[in-house]
């Protein structure tokens, strides 16, 4: 399949894609912005940023493992390498520094049984300028899934990487990396692909506000904003872009005293609807009926965009495969029937020896204009049940920055294919199709492997179709399973709109 490639870095639609109050919370400027791929670089960058903190560090996450090392393997600096000791060392060396850690309460139950975690928590708790809390202010079965770091209200990280075990890896995802082991042991874990972002300016100040609001909701304590402090940009991180306007989008579930915030859901719907040529996405899951409906509408257009999604081969854990893999199978099967123009592909990456690389990154690139990175996935929980935070930038008015967006996309795809970004760019320019490009470049060893829909038994189909393990929101957990196809709970609720659109097009 070949699609026309206009080759225009900076040829854009005139519509504004990011709108505060609709698909984002607010848009603020950043002097510098970087996409950081994989935890080897993230942990080192976060460490450097925290070394420069003057007044306050806020670590907000789904999980923390105090045993992890934050330095590149084999490297050291003036402080301890392990997170547990590093946090205490930071406040001991700077009498003006306060550190706040907030994590999901359910995840904390598991963490207590990790090595010396309980002892570390007691050490942190004993220090008057370290405050560690758990966040239980969420609906039943929901999780706090944001992964943000705020430093002095002037530097911020936002993305998908947790400061925990089984996350560290390098971009080569080598099969035999001796450093990719569980903390305090030689037990290896699987290759892991992830991403986050780093930025400064008023956008970072907004993340500071977001973390303070979440801290107040969880702990009842009001933290005042800091006076203007210029934090030092980590020396190891080269800014990807400069002088950008950064949108911050959130998901908050509906609660008794707080309405739902659906900015991320609206952001996904907007980006999918407005894409012109190519939607490239990396996501841990593909299980959201709303995103599938949005994609299904675009697949039926005679000149709609190509859609390339990179997922893991299977979801992590024991429960997630039942919930997410079955839903993915059902949704992809339905979308294949709509993909009459052959514009949808889902791949999973593998190592040089053919072992699966787990995709935990949550990145979306739309054409040559929009980059989105955050904590949310293509699943129901991320849109309406869990607490999420994403950032996005639209460079529609800047041709040079648009080329950088293209370079980011090609670099990510090249990493998965085991080729150079220049090779991806050259083949895409020649074919005008990213699907054709990937199909030409993929092969044995390090590569992208097409997703194949598995056979599901009746129980798996029922679990997926009724969203039993991936509910759309707090109210969905307790919904019944009766009703007609337009109103009942289920993976294909609302699908009639896509079928109706398809029928209309065939009739016309």
Instruction: Count how many residues are written for the chain.
Output: 508
| Token couple for 504 | 């209309």
At residue 242, does pLDDT exceed 90?
yes
Summarize the confidence of residues 260-267 as an average pLDDT.
96
Strand partners, 188: 181
Q: Which residue has the tokens 């911020």?
A: 156
Q: Following DSSP, what letter does each residue of 407-451 receive, concatenated? A: HHHHHHHHHHHTS-HHHHHHHHHHHS-HHHHHHHH--SSSEEEE-
CA–CA dist 503, 505 (Å, integer) = 5
CA–CA dist 426, 420 (Å, integer) = 10
DSSP state of 384: I
CA–CA dist 163, 188 (Å, integer) = 18
Q: What is the mean pLDDT of the chain?
A: 86
Helix (H) or strand (E) holding 240: none
Would you state the pLDDT for residue 126?
A: 76
More confident call, 155 vs 4: 155
As a whole-number percent, the residues of the chain with pLDDT over 90 amount to 66
At residue 323, does pLDDT exceed 50?
yes
CA–CA dist 459, 142 (Å, integer) = 24
Would you state the pLDDT for residue 498?
A: 65
More confident call, 360 vs 490: 360
HSE-up of residue 112 (Cα within 13 Å, Cβ side): 7
Strand partners, 490: none
- pTM reported for the whole predicted model: 0.89
At residue 320, does pLDDT exceed 70?
no
Torsion sign, CA atoms 266, 268, 270, 272: negative
How confident is the model over 134-183, as pLDDT tens digits?
Answer: 888 887 778 899 999 999 999 999 999 999 999 999 999 999 999 999 99
CA–CA dist 288, 476 (Å, integer) = 14
User: Could you give all domains of the chain from N- to C-terminal order, each with its CATH number?
Assistant: 30-244 (3.30.870.10), 245-507 (3.30.870.10)
At residue 8, does pLDDT exceed 60?
no
CA–CA dist 255, 260 (Å, integer) = 7
HSE-up of residue 398 (Cα within 13 Å, Cβ side): 15
CA–CA dist 163, 235 (Å, integer) = 20
Torsion sign, CA atoms 360, 366, 368, 370: negative
Would you state the pLDDT for residue 497?
A: 58
What are the residues whose beta carbons fall under 8 Å from the beta carbon of 112, sequence distance 6 or more? 118, 121
Q: Following DSSP, what letter does each residue of 355-367 receive, concatenated? A: PBPEE---EEEET
Would you state the pLDDT for residue 16?
A: 78
Residue 227's pLDDT band (boundaries 50, 70, 90)?
confident
Name which of 367, 50, 74 is nearest 198 in CA terms.
50
CA–CA dist 317, 339 (Å, integer) = 31
Determine which of 38-42, 92-96, 235-239, 450-454 has the lowest per-residue pLDDT on average.
450-454
Would you state the pLDDT for residue 319?
A: 58
At residue 258, does pLDDT exceed 90?
no
CA–CA dist 344, 306 (Å, integer) = 6
Would you state the pLDDT for residue 256?
A: 85
Would you state the pLDDT for residue 477?
A: 36
The full 3-state SS of 11-78, as one line of letters, equals CCCCCCCCCECCCECEEEEEEEEEEEECHHHHHHHHHHHHHCCCCEEEEEECCECCCCECCCCCCCCC
How confident is the model over 53-74, as pLDDT tens digits?
Answer: 999 999 999 888 989 999 999 8
How confident is the model over 22-31, as pLDDT tens digits?
Answer: 999 999 999 9
């Amino acid at each position: 399949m070949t699609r026309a490639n206009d080759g225009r870095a900076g040829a854009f639609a005139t519509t504004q894609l990011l709108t505060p109050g609709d698909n984002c919370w607010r848009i603020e400027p950043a002097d510098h912005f970087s996409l950081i791929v994989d935890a080897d670089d993230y942990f080192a960058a976060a460490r450097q940023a925290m070394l420069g903190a003057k007044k306050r560090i806020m670590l907000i996450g789904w999980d923390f493992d105090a045993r992890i090392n934050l330095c590149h393997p084999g490297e050291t600096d003036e402080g301890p390498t392990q997170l547990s000791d590093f946090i205490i060392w930071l406040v001991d060396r700077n009498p003006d520094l306060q550190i706040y850690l907030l994590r999901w309460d359910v995840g904390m139950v598991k963490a207590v049984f990790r090595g010396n975690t309980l002892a570390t928590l007691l050490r942190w708790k004993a220090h008057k300028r370290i405050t560690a809390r758990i966040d239980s202010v969420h609906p039943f079965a929901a999780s706090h899934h944001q992964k943000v770091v705020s430093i002095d209200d002037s530097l911020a990280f936002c993305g998908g990487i947790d400061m925990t075990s089984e996350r560290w890896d390098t971009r080569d995802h080598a099969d035999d990396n001796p450093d990719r082991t569980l903390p305090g042991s030689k037990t290896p874990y699987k290759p892991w692909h992830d991403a986050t972002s780093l930025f400064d300016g008023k956008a970072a100040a907004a993340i500071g506000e977001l973390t303070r609001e979440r801290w107040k909701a969880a702990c009842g304590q009001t933290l005042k904003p800091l006076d203007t402090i210029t934090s030092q940009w980590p020396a190891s991180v080269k800014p990807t872009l400069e002088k950008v306007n950064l949108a911050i989008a959130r998901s908050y579930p509906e609660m008794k005293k707080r309405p739902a915030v659906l900015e991320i859901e609206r952001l996904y719907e907007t980006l999918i609807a407005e894409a012109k040529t190519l939607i490239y996405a990396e996501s841990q899951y593909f299980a959201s009926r709303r995103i599938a409906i949005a994609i299904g509408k675009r697949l039926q257009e005679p000149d709609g965009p190509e859609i390339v999604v990179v997922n893991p081969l299977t979801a992590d854990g024991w429960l997630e495969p039942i919930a997410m893999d079955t839903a993915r199978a059902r949704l992809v099967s339905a979308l294949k029937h709509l993909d009459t123009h052959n514009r949808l592909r889902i791949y999973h990456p593998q190592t040089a020896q053919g072992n699966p690389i787990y995709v935990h990154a949550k990145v979306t690139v739309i054409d040559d204009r929009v980059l989105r990175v955050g904590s949310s996935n293509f699943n129901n929980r991320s849109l309406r049940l869990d607490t999420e935070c994403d950032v996005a930038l639209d460079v529609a008015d800047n041709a040079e920055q648009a080329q950088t967006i293209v370079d980011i996309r090609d670099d990510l795809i090249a990493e998965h294919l085991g080729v150079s970004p220049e090779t991806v760019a050259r083949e895409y320019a020649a074919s005008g199709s990213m699907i054709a490009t990937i199909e030409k470049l993929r092969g044995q060893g390090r590569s992208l492997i097409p997703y194949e829909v598995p056979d599901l038994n009746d129980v798996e189909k029922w679990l997926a179709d009724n969203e039993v393990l991936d509910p759309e929101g707090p109210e969905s957990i307790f919904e019944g399973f009766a009703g007609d196809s337009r109103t009942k709970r289920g993976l294909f609720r609302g699908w009639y709109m896509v079928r109706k659109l398809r029928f209309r097009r065939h009739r016309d």
